[in-house]
């Protein structure tokens, strides 16, 4: 059964990129000078969706630079570890094509939706997943996944 996206116009480019390469790489590096090189290497290796975590030094500047380097959407650039509406606004202003959060924060989800930017909020329980979906988040991030057992 195929499920239609709640916001196909918003998420279509992200979903298409994930279908062609179902990996979302996360960059969390100690120095901003490494971000461009790391992104180029990941792209050369076939990665099409890249999240740069907001605590990474130079994150927003790197997002802007990478959006200019890959203007045709061949590399989708997002910002992760977004914790507030203000951080969401700054990431969107820098050119983030999607946002990822470790928690479910309604104001952050609404800020993303208001700007037409897909958001992947962190959820852990079925209730949180349902809340995210009803808020308008088309995709969720199971977090922290490492605390779940395989049984």
Q: What is the span of the domain harbouring residue 31?
A: 8-146
Q: Is the pTM of this model over 0.85?
A: yes
How far apart (Å, rounded) are the C-alpha atoms in residues 132 and 146? Answer: 20
- What's the structural domain count of the chain? 1
Q: Is 74 a catalytic residue?
A: no
Q: What is the pLDDT of residue 150?
A: 65
User: Per the residue annotation, which of 51, 87, 97, 111 is the catalytic one?
Assistant: 51
Q: What is the dihedral of CA 98, 101, 104, 109, to 10 degrees?
A: -30
Q: Reply yes or no: is the peptide bond before residue 80 cis, omega within 30 of 0.
A: no
Is 134 a domain residue? yes
Let me know if residue 19 belongs to a domain. yes
* 3-state SS, residue 140: coil
Q: Tell whether 62 is covered by a domain.
A: yes
Q: Check residue 109 and give its pLDDT.
A: 96
Q: Is the pLDDT of residue 55 over 50?
A: yes
In a domain, 95, yes or no: yes
State the chain's maximal CA–CA distance in angstroms: 45
Point out the catalytic residue in the list 87, 97, 111, 141.
Answer: 141
23 in a domain, yes or no?
yes
Sign of the torsion angle spanned by Cα atoms 51, 21, 131, 137 = positive
Residue count of the chain: 151
Q: Is residue 1 part of a domain?
A: no
Domain CATH code at residue 34: 3.20.20.70
User: Residue 27: helix, strand or coil by DSSP?
Assistant: strand
End-to-end Cα separation, the chain, in angstroms = 25
**Alpha-carbon gap, residue 89 to 93, rounded angstroms:** 6
| Residue 9: pLDDT over 90 | no
Flag whether pLDDT at 2 surpasses 70.
no
Asked if residue 25 is part of any domain, the answer here is yes
Q: Where residue 6 falls among pLDDT bands split at 50, 70, 90?
A: very low
């Amino acid at each position: 059964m195929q499920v239609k996206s709640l916001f196909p116009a918003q998420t279509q480019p992200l979903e298409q990129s994930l279908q062609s390469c179902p990996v979302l790489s996360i960059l969390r590096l100690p120095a901003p000078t490494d971000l461009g090189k790391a992104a180029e290497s990941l792209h050369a290796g076939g990665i099409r969706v890249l999240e740069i975590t907001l605590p990474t030094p130079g994150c927003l500047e790197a997002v802007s630079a990478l959006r200019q380097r890959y203007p045709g959407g061949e590399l989708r650039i997002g910002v992760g570890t977004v914790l507030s509406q203000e951080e969401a606004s700054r990431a969107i202003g820098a050119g983030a094509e999607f946002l990822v959060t470790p928690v479910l924060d309604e104001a952050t989800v609404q800020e993303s939706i208001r700007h037409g930017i897909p958001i992947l909020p962190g959820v852990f329980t079925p209730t949180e997943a349902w809340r995210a979906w009803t808020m308008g988040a088309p995709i969720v991030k199971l977090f922290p996944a490492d605390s779940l057992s395989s049984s």
